[in-house]
Structures are given as C-alpha cells and as structure tokens.
Amino acid sequence: MLQALAHKMRGDIPAGLAPLQRALTLAEPEGYVRVFVDEGLRLATLLEAAAKHGIAGSYVRRLLAALGKAEDSTPVKQDLVEPLSERELDVLRLLRSDLDGPDIARELTVSLNTMRTHSKNIYAKLGVNNRRAAVSRADELGFFSRTSTH
C-alpha cells in the first residue's frame, strides 16, 4: 500500500494500481479495513481508480464507504466507544432475522465459532449479553433505521 501511495505522490496513479492490487488481494480474505482507512483520503483517489479498473470491486467499494467516499452508501453513524466492524454489522443484521447461529454462519460462509466470536464482540460493544438485547440496543441506536444495500 505504501508503494502505491508513493506512486500516487509522484503523480503516477496507474503505476500505483499494481502494488495496491497486491495489497487488496492480501487484505480482502481477512476483511482488513482499518489498515486502509487509517491512510485517510490520500488513499481514496487510488481506491477510486482501482474501482474504475474493476480491481477487487466489492471490497474497494466497502473501503471507499468506510472512508466516506461511496456514492451510493451511507455509513452507519455509531455512537459507540468502539464501533462495530463491517463484519460485525453483517452479523448484527442477521441476528435481527429468524436465522439461528448455524444458519447465520452458513449465510456468511464462516465457521460457527467465528460467528459466535463476532456475536460476543457485538454484545460487548453494545453493552448487552444476549441476542435479543443486542438487536434492541442496535435499534435504539438507529442501526436499522436505514435500508441495507447489501
């Protein structure tokens, strides 16, 4: 990612796409967002160029949304000490459904243990200790007030 930013600083965005693509390829399976978002808006131009070239499409759109640069998505405003990650938001949306834990794990293509870890993290961040309370608290905070584009 730093190589991509170096190319951008020299005014050569096309040359920056190759190292950015490598960084995205490595980061996407793990769902890393913060490492990109921490670079701030100086990375946004490169991500927008990557999107135009069809590089890591949905992942790049997710990163742009996290940077506040997505055209068609409004980030959820979170009034939490530690905000929920994108994946935790995905789990939270499914916790609101009638799906049970194994079904949620299958829907997200993760192990049941991973889904449970996400759920525990959500409960801790929302200050609750069960699914019903998490959904209720999230609703109070306005997490479900806008329509989901996913």
As a whole number of angstroms, the distance between CA 137 and CA 47 comes to: 34
Same domain, 97 and 55: no
Q: Is residue 72 part of a domain?
A: no
pLDDT for 7: 92
- Listed in sequence order, the residues at least 6 apart from 58 whose beta carbon sits closer than 8 Å to its beta carbon are none
On whether both 8 and 36 belong to a single domain, the answer is: yes
Dihedral class, residue 47 (left if φ above 0, else alpha if ψ from -120 to 50, else beta): alpha
Predicted local distance difference test score (pLDDT) of residue 76: 54
Of 14, 37, 66, the residue that ends a domain is 66
Structural domain harbouring 14: 2-66
Tell me, what's the pLDDT at 80? 74
User: Which of 89, 29, 34 has the alpha carbon at shortest distance from 66?
Assistant: 34
Q: What is the CATH number of the domain that holds 132?
A: 1.10.10.10
Residue 32 located in a structural domain: yes
Q: Look at phi and psi of residue 40 and say left if phi exceeds 0, alpha if psi is from -120 to 50, else beta.
A: left
In terms of domains, do 94 and 57 share one? no
Closest CA relative to residue 122, chosen from 90, 150, 144, 98: 90
Indicate whether 45 and 96 sit together in one domain: no
Q: What local confidence, expressed as pLDDT, does residue 90 receive?
A: 86
Mark the ranges of the chain whose per-residue pLDDT is less than 50: 71-75, 147-150
Total domains, the chain: 2
Please indicate, yes or no, whether residues 56 and 20 belong to a single structural domain of this protein. Answer: yes
- Among the candidates 12, 34, 66, a domain finishes at 66
Q: In terms of domains, do 11 and 52 share one?
A: yes
Q: Which of 18, 38, 66 delimits the end of a domain?
A: 66
Judged on CB neighbours under 10 Å (0-12, 13-18, 19+), 53 is middle
Has residue 71 been placed in a domain? no
What pLDDT is recorded for position 103?
Answer: 92
| Residue 122 within a domain | yes
Specify if 42 maps to a domain: yes
Give this prediction's pTM. Answer: 0.48
Same domain, yes or no, for 12 and 51? yes
